[in-house]
Structure 1
Amino acid sequence: MRKLFVLLALGISSGAVAQEDYELRLGDSLVNIALDKPYNLVVNGKQVQLNLKMKDTLTYKQTFLSFKYPKEFKISSSMIDPEVAQLTIVSSEGTGIIIQKYESMNPTTLNELVLTELTKESINYGYVAKKSTYKKKLASGQEVEVTRSVLTYKDEVNIYEVASVGKKDAGLIMVTMKMDDEKNSAGQRVIDLMWRSIRMD
């Protein structure tokens, strides 16, 4: 079997959007606008104030997968196989999520394999791993088993979790990565929001 889990740790920065990257069409007129910048437009002879804002929480949706994430982050998307898409959201400290979307196989037997790939380099370095499992219910109703590995080395703590859900010839692998034990980090907010909202329909 080809290696279907190229697990990346990409830090995604979130610079402010100030360019006029959006177009607003009003009748026959086309106006270039930017986020969070007020505009005074004349519509049908009346002056109208326009201010385009982005929601605090954004939604990714494609075929059978959807989940929410904070607007401060961008999704890094890549194809690691012709029928496997990988979505990554990682904070600057390395905490975040990886979601793999399989279009031709049910990946629910790959949890241990993925977790081994994620942790083997740290374990070889000297980290001590403690594994456990627990159940979690997705927003779409499926109950999944989450395999959790807590790696410790001196005063450092890394936490990895892997879960999967599938149906005939399709499915998702969900990975969370924490490079510390902070409860309120930006990366932790990405993880929490993903778990609360992810759906496989």
Structure 2
Amino acid sequence: MKYNYLFIALFFVATSVNAQKDYVITVDGKDYEIALDGNEDVKIKGKLVNIALKKKDTLLLDDDYFELKYTKQHKVSRVEIESDIEQIMLMTAGGSGLIIQKYGSFNPSMLQEMMMNEVTKESVSYGYNLKREDYDKELSSGETIKVLKSVLTYKGETEVYEVMAHGKKDEGIIVMTMNMNLGVEDGGEDMIQLMWNSLSIKP
């Protein structure tokens, strides 16, 4: 059903439980509350219209340096560490996920090995056995990058860390993945795999 007079604007008023009517849809100047993945029957110009609000299953994280895909179950958080360093995180409740550090004033490629050492040294000190399984990865944008991979095991538990770096003159990113629950269905493995399959560096 099409109405020429209908102009719809979405306003995010809160982020909470999906069953709550946390969104407002403005139709032809009138506001209607609706829940994400919910349906509402509203009267517009005397006609009953069904309105639904849904979120795409796969979303795009579009940055000026890179882009990647992630699922709607996870949320992106950003924090500015310093004036020229931004940190972007996608994590599961179980602690698996990925961290991207974006540098705006220097090429961070030289920090790749140091980053891996930093995230694994505490586990190694505790008694975890570390095995390196570094490999080369071709990104969807065509670049071949070196990925450092550490597999840590201890009394039947396995943690996997991967670190890649890509830099240009005076800028770049470091991407670190953490699978803290190998074999556990918490969404972490799927998130990491989707990132690797979709990560693209912009020219």
Aligned to 2:133: 132
Aligned to 1:40: 41
- Taking the aligned partners of 1:30 and 1:165, their CA distance within structure 2 comes to 46
Give the TM-score normalised by the residue count of structure 1. Answer: 0.85
Number of matched pairs: 188
1:181 matches 2:202: no
Residue 196 of structure 2: SS of its match in structure 1? helix
Contact 2:127-2:154 at 8 Å conserved across structures: yes
Aligned to 2:156: 155
State the one-letter code of the partner of 2:137: K
Give the TM-score normalised by the residue count of structure 2. Answer: 0.84
Contact 2:88-2:100 at 8 Å conserved across structures: yes
Larger Rg over CA atoms = 2
Residue 139 of structure 1: SS of its match in structure 2? coil
State the one-letter code of the partner of 1:30: D
Task: Please report how far the alpha carbon of residue 112 of structure 1 lies from its aligned counterpart in structure 2 after TM superposition.
Answer: 0.3
Task: Please report how far the alpha carbon of residue 152 of structure 1 lies from its aligned counterpart in structure 2 after TM superposition.
Answer: 1.6
1:24 matches 2:25: yes
- Taking the aligned partners of 1:66 and 1:21, their CA distance within structure 2 comes to 28
Give deviations 1:101-151, integer Å, cap 9, x for gaps: 112111111110000110011111111211131111222222110011111
State the one-letter code of the partner of 1:91: T
Compared with structure 1, are the counterparts of its residues 153 and 85 closer, same or farther at alpha carbon in structure 2 (3 Å cutoff)? same
1:92 matches 2:93: yes
Aligned to 1:60: 61
State the one-letter code of the partner of 2:111: L
Task: Please report how far the alpha carbon of residue 38 of structure 1 lies from its aligned counterpart in structure 2 after TM superposition.
Answer: 1.0
When the two chains are superposed, the root-mean-square deviation of aligned CA atoms in Å is: 1.9
Structure 1 gap segments, 5+ residues each: 1-13
Percent of paired sites with the same residue: 40
- Taking the aligned partners of 1:42 and 1:139, their CA distance within structure 2 comes to 47
- Taking the aligned partners of 1:169 and 1:43, their CA distance within structure 2 comes to 54
Q: Map 1:70-85; keep pairs closer than 5 Å.
A: 70-85=71-86
- Taking the aligned partners of 2:19 and 2:60, their CA distance within structure 1 comes to 22
Compared with structure 1, are the counterparts of its residues 134 and 168 closer, same or farther at alpha carbon in structure 2 (3 Å cutoff)? same
State the one-letter code of the partner of 1:88: M
Task: Please report how far the alpha carbon of residue 44 of structure 1 lies from its aligned counterpart in structure 2 after TM superposition.
Answer: 4.3
Compared with structure 1, are the counterparts of its residues 59 and 103 closer, same or farther at alpha carbon in structure 2 (3 Å cutoff)? same
- Taking the aligned partners of 2:30 and 2:66, their CA distance within structure 1 comes to 36
Higher relative contact order (CA 8 A, sep 6+): 1
